Structure formats: structure tokens, C-alpha cells
A and B are shown apart, each in its own frame.
Chain A
Amino acid sequence: MAHDGHHDDGGSALDEMTLRVRALESLLVEKGYVDPPALDLLIETYEKKVGPRNGARVVARAWSDPDYKARLLADGTAAIAELGYSGRQGEHIKVVENTGQTHNMVVCTLCSCYPWPVLGLPPVWYKSAPYRSRAVADPRGVLAEFGVTLPPETAVRVWDSTAEMRYLVLPLRPAGTEGWDEDRLADLVTRDSMIGTGLALAPAEVEAGA
């Protein structure tokens, strides 16, 4: 059941969690420890407002503006804050640049550390045992499952987020995008390309998907 990603047999477990979480919420509200409108706002923020589009704007700016890129690589936190993204789970951000020689990939083997202000909440696979266990020991095997095959001469650097440093990958700018403005470029920047389990989309891939 745990392996197919569905909950066909787990309806009763889901119901139990629903009941248990409801019980806790009502208790904590009654105790006065939590404010229900604040809970709603926390959910809305991470469900609707904060997501990988933020990171895509950072990447598109870096691809377009060499001075910004230099600031971004020197002090990720400050350069990202220039675009208005900051705070929780992104207090200390380091941006790592993919080049022809080096491909970067980010993991948190110990829990689920992830740069929330620029990518939102992590997907389930990022928090899962398969990714956490294998990203450091078999990054090329993991990349292959994501459809990414690197030339053998490209070195892989895996960043294990063991402290409060958060890592954002600056992917390679795809060929054929000369003269594109930042909005168009941002459409090429996927979440996975900023984790390092993917590459930025080629122009043809965006047109095919549109």
C-alpha cells in the first residue's frame, strides 16, 4: 500500500488522521495557543502564494543580468531578497551554479530542508526515503530516473542540507533563448531544475506543452 502512492486501502487511516488532527486543533484553540485565522493564513500562504515561480524569477533575472547573477552567487540571501523573497526556511540561502563542468543537486538526508521562499513546500518525493537515501550515494542513478543523463566528464556535486543553509541550483540557460525577456525565460525554469534533479526546459519543450 505504501508503495503505490494511492490510499485505496488506507481510507480508515486517513479518517483516523482527520479525527486526530481535528481533536488536536480544537483543543489548542480552546487552550488559546493558536489563532484559527492565523492557521488559515499559513495554509493559504504556502498553498497559493509561495512556490517555485519565485525561484524561477530569480533564475530568469540571473540569466538576464550579469551583475545580479554575480550578487546572487556571492550572497544568495541578499540577492533573493531584492526580488522580495525572504524568511522562513530561507534565512541563509546559497545559490550553486551549473556549468558545463559541474551539475549540482540538493538533498536533505536527515529530514526535509528546502528553500521555502523560492520553491515553496517540498514535494513528497524530496522528503521520501528513496530520494534521501540515494541522492548522496547514487546521484546519477537518481538523475536517470528523472530522465537526466549527464556526460561522464560532468562532475556531480550533491549538497546535503544538514544545517540552516538552504541551496538553490542555478540551472544552465537553454540554447536558443537569446533576447528572451525574463517572463519568457522564467517559463523554462522548472522546480526540479532548481533542485538539480532536472534541467531547464528547452524552448521546444515549452511550445510542445502549451
Chain B
Amino acid sequence: MNGVHDMGGMRGHGPVEREENEPAFHAEWERRAFALALAMGATGAWTLDMSRQARESLPPAQYLASSYYEIWFAALCDLICAKGLASRDEIDTGRLAAPPANIARVLKAEDVAAALAKGAPVERPARAPARFSPGDKVRAKVMHPPAHTRLPRYVRGHVGVIEEVHGCHVFPDDNAAGRGENPDWLYGVGFAAADLWGGSAHPGDKVHVDCWQAYLEPAE
């Protein structure tokens, strides 16, 4: 969806502000919110794509005014409610009002190292040959999807060149919506910066975007 999270090319956000010797976390609640988000993700109650969709679905003004972990926390609370794991009232008060729901698994301390080392690879066996090959010209489709997508606005309608075929990866638009993984071919696509941004771009500069096949059509 065309939300404020889709920031590529926006103006007005000011300079990049850096912090010397920045710590991993800036407050104890950030540590706890981070760990809760990872541990709840490990229960299998939702997918990574659903987490991203929940963060993008926050009201735009709230998203822009929130710190990173405030966004994570708000989206985590929304997902817990949406999946029926707790009520909003329970979340706000911290007090149990209903018995727990069934969940697939609980991440235990002894399993943390193995779970992190394994991660969650998203490459899947191909069910059909890839439509495009390196060197092919492709156009990023013009689209206005109502929910999650990973095709940024700034490339839609523009022509790029297939530079790499990454394999068949879980398709986020479907996975976020609960329609299944529906793996699709993923390509590295190079776009000339001048095609995306016009005369303000430096000649010869490029932007690479990873695009699923469903986002692309042949271009002449």
C-alpha cells in the first residue's frame, strides 16, 4: 500500500542524524520490546510479512512521529489482538482476563541460539521456469495495492534491467495477507538513477531493487 513507510525519494525529512558510539538500545523498554517482538514472532502466530504489514498499517501521523521501537511495539500489540492472543484491555492493564490461546510453540532459552543461527530462509523450489533472464528489460508494473507489497512506489512504471535471478522466494504480498507463501521468482533489477529521478541524478548512478516476477512485465 502507498503508505508513509514507502519513503524512497521523499523530500523534507532533513539531514541524516548520526550518534557517535551509538548503543544497541537507548532504553530498557527498547530491549524488552525488541525481545518480545522476536519471541512472539517465534510462536508462529504470524509471519514476518504480517509484522511488516502491521507496522505499515499504523496511522501515517503516528508512524512518522514514533521512534522505531515504538512502531514495533504498537504493531506487536495490534497483532496480538488481531490474532486473538489477548484483548486490548489485557494489553493495556497487563492483567490476565482470559485464559491463553493455543500457540504453536514457545521459544525457550535453550533453543534461542539454534533458532537465530537457522533463521527463516525464504527460498523455495521453483514450480515453473523463470520468465526473465539477466539482460532482459523489464518494467515495474503500475499498481496501487490495498495492502502489503514490497515494490516501492518510486520504481513503478519505470524500466530497468534484470541483473540477477535470485531464485524462487516467498511472495510477501500473499504471505502478509494469509494467502500462503506462493513462492515467485525474485530478480535483482537495476534502474538508471536518471530514469527514476530525472536531471537531478548523477549520470551513471544506479538503484538496484529486488523485484518479484509478479511486479514485472516485459519492456522493449
Which of B14, B90, B111, B169 is A130 in contact with, Cβ under 8 Å?
B14
8 Å CB interface, A100-117 against B: 107, 109-112
Q: In the complex, what's the smallest C-beta–C-beta distance from A89 to chain B, in angstroms?
A: 7
Q: Is there contact, CB below 8 Å, between A110 and B6?
A: yes
A8 within 8 A of partner (CB): no
Size category of the B interface is 35 or more
A176 within 8 A of partner (CB): no
Q: Is there contact, CB below 8 Å, between A24 and B91?
A: yes
List of B residues within 8 angstroms of A88 by Cβ: 115-116, 119-120
List of A residues within 8 angstroms of B122 by Cβ: 91-92, 164
Interchain pairs with CB closer than 8 A, number: 264
A172 within 8 A of partner (CB): no
Q: Is there contact, CB below 8 Å, between A46 and B34?
A: yes
Q: Is there contact, CB below 8 Å, between A38 and B112?
A: yes
List of A residues within 8 angstroms of B43 by Cβ: 33
Q: Is there contact, CB below 8 Å, between A86 and B91?
A: no
Given contacts A38-B107, A87-B116, A152-B202, contact A31 B19 (CB under 8 A): no
8 Å CB interface, B84-116 against A: 85-86, 90-96, 100-101, 103, 106-109, 111-113, 115-116
Q: Is there contact, CB below 8 Å, between B166 and A165?
A: yes
A158 within 8 A of partner (CB): yes
Residue of A nearest to B27 (CB): A14
Q: Mark A127-138, 1 if CB is under 8 A from B, else 0.
A: 111111111111
B125 within 8 A of partner (CB): no
List of A residues within 8 angstroms of B25 by Cβ: 43, 47
7 A-B contact pairs sorted by A residue (CB < 8 Å): A28-B80, A43-B32, A51-B24, A109-B152, A130-B15, A161-B210, A163-B166
| Additional pairs, 8, CB under 8 Å, beyond known A26-B94, A33-B106, A129-B10 | A20-B92, A21-B32, A33-B100, A38-B108, A87-B117, A133-B9, A137-B197, A165-B166
